[in-house]
Structure 1
Amino acid sequence: MAAEARYPIPEIRRGKIYRDVYAKRSPDNPALGDAHLERARIVDGTLDFGDSGVRNRAFRDGVFLLEIPPELDVSAGDAFARQFYEGPAATPYGRFRDIGSDRFGDPLLGFHQRINQIEQFLLERRFWAADYPPEIAALGEALTRLSRQVLRSVLAEVGIPEEDWRRATGGCSQCAGSYHLTFNHYRPAHEDIGLSSHKDDGFLTILRTTAPGLEVSREDHWETVPAHPDCLIVNFGLSMEILTAGSRMPVAAIMHRVARQQEDRSSFGHFSSSGCLPGEDEGIYRYVRGRGLERVCGSRELIDENDYEIYAGTDAPVAAKGARR
């Protein structure tokens, strides 16, 4: 099937997820110009590109700009992103630097400094109401509703039957998936790339950034995404790529990274993934025309293996040992 061949399903195993894109992941490959991304907006609760050709290009790219809906206020998120890493002396958000993963019983959550320039504060939705300030928890819920609108629009366009949506997305089509709200700061004094190249593990990511730094890989070369303060950046992840590979309109997971930053840079993002609460892993599926949904792996398995690849990096096979690229 031609649609399946366009985006072959990656092997969800450590060291294998990116086996076909080692060359793309090299930080030595510079960005070649600006990325002119397609643009959409929400109209009556539905994703609207204005033209089917624009929509098709956005799905093929795996990334597009989404005009910030007038009812969505992102100012609290901007403020949190600028301050969370400064420590308790910076009020009201600096105290979050001292909240680590031990508080949540999950090594992914809380404050982390990575091997790249990035440092983060990340919480899963079940902790938002109790541990984020009310304005940040409200922002997370608003982004969850927005992600549902985008996701349902995509599922309808690619031809997955509506009765399969909930299982196919691990609840995300009903605002019942797994959601993470993360705030990022890039440390200019740290000698490394901003964030290593990768694909997100979930269905879609909604990113808010007001400064350049994000780079995307399209047409086998890297491009810089200009700042668009009136837009959010939506990019699709591995779960969406896997799910739609056999549909009538496969959706790509975009490879992206953050370039080395010479000045402080902050951003925040909302991630929509298949439900994976403790003991309630909903799984990752692919849709095959004529057969329906087929389970590929566990939801948490995909998150854990992909996080390892992002933050620990993937070692390319050694040519001297006969490995093929």
Structure 2
Amino acid sequence: MTSAHHGLTPDIRRGRIYRNVYEKRDKARPALGEASLERARIAPGEHDDGELLFADSASRDRAFRDGVFLLEIPQDLDVAGGDAFARQFHQGPEAEPYGRFRLLDSDHFGDPLLGFHQRVNQIEQFLLERRFWAAHYPPEITALGEALTRLSGQVLRSVLAHAGIPEADWRRATGGCSAGEGSYHLTFNHYRPALDDIGLSSHKDDGFLTILRTTTPGLEISRGDHWETVPRATDCFVVNFGLSMEILTAACGTPVAAIMHRVAHQGTDRSSFGHFSSSSCRPGEDEGIHRYVAGRGLERVCGSRELIDENDHEIYAGTDAPEGRPA
């Protein structure tokens, strides 16, 4: 399927997801200048029905077309616990109260995605899915995750409405995310300056949207034909859309892009945390990834876990460019 805005819908096969952007993924390509990002806020509403508001419709359209924007942190959302966890989780049990999480790897949770991981880049992470939060995270971190889940739902529903997808299709289209019933992951990141590598390889996220808290420089985005640095904005989250959203809206009149991003090499310790909203993909409950086509409705493209696994392989193992093209 094609879209006048995006071209081909992403091909979820190993070595194909990034087939049109191999050159942009070159680590040696420098960032050229600072990104000017649109800014939005959530207007209070009843229950969880707050509206995503930009300065004007042109600002909103640019944000959705770019696949990234700044979202003002709501006054009632406390990020201090998340900042502290991100600074400490990797230090080991001698660091109280969060260093013990370094010892909880994927074997502890029975899922290769979860727990503590050290990647081939500078990044090391602690990642948990929502069903494990209450049992393993301290109360303040669980509360943060739940607050970010509510905020993510508000953003997601506003985007679906703008894209023109009928509300009756929202739950199936998002694998439950529109109703707070998707898969949600809270991740904490640390970048190891002793490693001589990029902070995190260039990639697109696999879910519908990511809410990122970052207080130091390092994040870079690819727009147009070059990379740009994301400015430091401590009063805002960085929100970026992922492949699930790009696939879902590719055939809509106003498609939403998945932004390619990376973290530059870090010369000092850097930490951040993020919240991912994805289609439900518990074992045996994979609700799948869909594309919405006017007049035909939702069409299944691939499995939710299939998208995660194929995208993770290209992020951490690297994409093999076709013969005759640079990697």
Give the TM-score normalised by structure 1. Answer: 0.97
Give, in angstroms, the shift of residue 49 of structure 1. Answer: 0.4
Q: State the alpha-carbon separation in 1 of the partners of residues 222 and 60 from structure 2.
A: 18
State the SS of the aligned residue for 1:280.
coil
**Match among 265, 281, 288 for residue 276 of structure 1:** 281
One-letter identity of the residue aligned with 2:231 = P
What residue in structure 2 maps to residue 25 of structure 1? 25
Determine if the alignment matches structure 1 residue 264 to structure 2 residue 273: no
Which structure 2 residues correspond to residues 174-185 of structure 1 after superposition, within 5 A?
Answer: 174-185=179-190
Shift of 1:166: 0.2
Of 63, 68, 72 in structure 1, the residue corresponding to residue 68 of structure 2 is 63
Please state how far the C-alpha of 1:220 moved relative to its aligned partner: 1.4
Identity of aligned pairs, percent? 77
Residue-by-residue CA offset, 1:162-198 (whole Å, 9 max, x unaligned): 0000000000000000010000000000110000000
Which residue in 2 is equivalent to 1:125?
130
- Secondary structure at the aligned position of 1:309 is classed as helix
What's 2:80 paired with?
75
Counterpart CA distance in 1 for 2:322 and 2:224 is 24
Matched residue of 2:152: which SS?
Answer: helix
Matched, 1:160 2:165: yes
What is aligned with 1:11? 11
SS at match of 2:255: coil
**Residues of 2 paired with 1:83 and 1:5: CA distance?**
42
Deviation at 1:14, TM superposition (A): 1.0
- Counterpart of 1:315 in structure 2 is 320
Amino acid at match of 1:223: E
Contact 1:283 1:296 in 2 (8 A): yes
Q: Deviations over 1:295-316 (max 9, x none)?
A: 0000000001101111111121
Contact 1:37/1:63, CA 8 A, preserved across alignment: yes
SS of equivalent to 2:161? helix
Q: Which residue of 2 aligns with 1:236?
A: 241
Letter of the 2:141 partner, please give it: I
Normalising by the residue count of structure 2, what TM-score does the alignment of the two structures yield? 0.96
User: For 1:94 and 1:324, how far apart are their aligned partners in 2?
Assistant: 41
Matches of 2:124 and 2:7 in 1, distance apart? 32
- SS of the residue corresponding to residue 294 of structure 1 reads strand
Distance in 2 between residues matched to 1:324 and 1:94, nearest whole Å: 41
Q: Which amino acid in the other structure matches residue 8 of structure 1?
A: L
In structure 1, what is the Cα distance between the partners aligned to 2:112 and 2:41? 36
Comparing 4-13 and 204-213, the one that deviates more? 4-13
Deviations 1:217-236 (A, max 9, x none): 00110000011000000000
| 1:324–1:73 distance in 2 versus 1, CA, 3 Å | closer
Gaps spanning 5+ residues in structure 1: where? Answer: none
User: In structure 1, the residue corresponding to 2:91 is in which secondary structure?
Assistant: coil
* Deviation digits for residues 43-62 of structure 1 (CA, Å, limit 9, x no counterpart): 02110002000000000100
The 5-angstrom pairing of residues 146-295 of structure 1 reads 146-295=151-300
Distance 1:298 1:234 in 2: 24
Instruction: Provide closer, same or farther for how the CA distance between residues 299 and 2 of structure 1 changes in structure 2, counting only shifts above 3 A.
Output: closer
Task: Tell me the residue number matched to 1:49.
Answer: 54
Q: Residues of 2 paired with 1:111 and 1:256: CA distance?
A: 22
Q: Which residue of 1 aligns with 2:47?
A: none
Using the alignment, how far apart are the partners of 2:134 and 2:4 within structure 1? Answer: 41
CA contact (8 A) 2:2 2:8 kept: no
Instruction: Output the CA distance in 1 between the equivalents of 2:249 and 2:167.
Output: 14
User: 5+ residue gaps in structure 2?
Assistant: 45-49
Q: Any conservation in 2 of the 1:7–1:250 contact (CA below 8 Å)?
A: no
Structure 1 residue 7, shift from structure 2 partner: 4.0
C-alpha separation between the residues in 2 aligned to 1:167 and 1:296? 13
| Residue of structure 2 equivalent to 1:145 | 150
When residues 110 and 146 of structure 1 are mapped into structure 2, their CA distance, relative to the original with a 3 A threshold, is same
Q: Give the secondary-structure state (helix, strand or coil) at the position aligned to 2:298.
A: strand
Equivalent residue for 1:106?
A: 111
Cα distance in 2 for residues equivalent to 1:58 and 1:206: 14
Deviation of 1:39 after TM superposition, in Å, equals 0.2
Q: Could you give the per-residue CA deviations for residues 187-213 of structure 1, whole angstroms, max 9, x where no partner exists?
A: 000110000000000000000000010
* Structure 1 residues 22 and 2: CA distance shift in structure 2, 3 A: closer
Secondary structure of the structure 1 residue equivalent to 2:253: coil
Give every structure 1 segment of 4 or more consecutive aligned residues whose post-TM-superposition deviation is greater than 4 Å: none
Residue deviations 1:257-311 (CA, integer Å, cap 9, x gap)? 0000000000000000000011000000000111111000000000011011111
Q: Which whole-Å CA distance do the structure 2 matches of 1:14 and 1:187 have between them?
A: 28
Residues 86 and 97 of structure 1 are in contact (CA less than 8 Å); yes or no, is this contact kept in structure 2? Answer: yes
Structure 1 pair 7–271 and aligned structure 2 pair: CA distance change class (3 A): farther
Aligned CA distance change for structure 1 residues 46 and 220 (closer, same or farther; 3 Å): same
